[in-house]
A = this chain, B = another copy of it.
Amino acid sequence: MDEFGIIARYFAPLATAPGSLALTDDAAVIPARPGCDLVVTMDQIAEETDFFKHDPPDAVARKALRVNLSDLAAKGATPEYYLLALSLRQGMTEDWLASFASGLRADQEAFGISLLGGDTSATEGPLAITVTAFGFVPEGGMVKRKGARPGDAVFVTGTIGDSAGGLAIFRRERHALAEEQRDYLVSRYREPLPPVLFGARHLRDFATASVDVSDGLIADLGHLAKASGVAIAIDAMAIPRSDALRAFWGEGAAAIVRAATAGDDYQIVFTADPACEGGILAAAADSRISVTRIGQVEPGAGVALVHQGRPLDVGRPGYRHF
């Protein structure tokens, strides 16, 4: 099957928006939407770097989408479209493509998005997937990394470190986890769960600044602190960690540092007036996620991870590609 056959069979059925022109044109069109700004982000994932060759193809598809949806959620945007560039290596089977497309379809339904266009080509290297995702916010309403003020509280969605725990299991780190706990961590590595609904529906009501946790909680808070011109103090013990991760890595300071610097979480960390805490927790419940207060914004610069009254040495604060 050539590239046109692949597009027609697997991808055209996912292109349901009129602006996609059913993937039969050179470009797609996003119609004017007065009163709305368009928020755009582009992230790539590659075999052996961001996922494994034998990961289920539908999970790979979801991960490619969700690392992008996470950025949109952290900006308060409602996701709507995506473009997909696929570099297929030799020997990709129709079964692989069918499963990959089914993963895209499932997430299109879960998140209310549709395929707008893209590019399919062949590569000599590892399979690579690049997604450009599009969402809308009311004009001027995008939540930025800049905007945190001394006195704000710091909140984070979900739990931190689970994906890194899953990756450690793949890398054969020793553990004595129950099967259910192991599967939970592995699934968080394979399929992040960005808080898309919370981001789209509620974040703009509260957040003074926000960033998605992808490089690592401390590293990403560092980006937010720098953009906002403030310091941030995080209470290490308050960082939400799953029971499975606690069972795997334990309760000590080293385990917390590891979780807070590992990356690949795809949660949102944001700042807000502490008086909003009640409203934030209600909004989280409405979106069926958890939100935890983990620190505060102060005058100054940098991020401190405070444990039993003393700052921890975090070493490298997050993941770097090179």
Contact = CB atoms under 8 A, between A and B. Distances in A.
Interface of A: 2-4, 21, 24-44, 46, 48-49, 71-72, 74-75, 77, 83-85, 87-88, 116-126, 128, 130, 132, 134, 137, 139, 142, 144-146, 211-212, 223, 226-227, 320-322
14 contacts: A3-B320, A24-B226, A24-B227, A25-B227, A27-B40, A27-B75, A27-B142, A42-B83, A42-B84, A46-B87, A85-B85, A119-B130, A124-B125, A125-B128
A75 B26 contact: yes
A137 B126 CA distance: 37
A106 to B, nearest CB: 22
B26 A212 contact: yes
Contacts of A75: 25-27
Contact of A117 (B21, B26, B41, B142): B41
Contacts of A3: 320-322
Contact of A85 (B35, B37, B44, B320): B44
A68 to B, nearest CB: 9
B128 A126 contact: no
Contacts of A123: 46, 49, 125-126, 128
B125 A25 contact: no
A121 B46 CA distance: 9
Contacts of A132: 40, 42, 83, 132
Nearest to A268: B26
Q: Looking at A116, A130, A211, A226, which has the most chain B CB atoms within 10 Å of its CB?
A: A130
A39 B28 contact: yes
B142 A40 contact: no
A190 to B, nearest CB: 19
B41 A31 contact: no
Contact of A30 (B38, B117, B146, B226): B38
A2 B121 contact: no
A44 B130 contact: yes
Nearest to A6: B322
Contact of A2 (B32, B83, B125, B322): B322
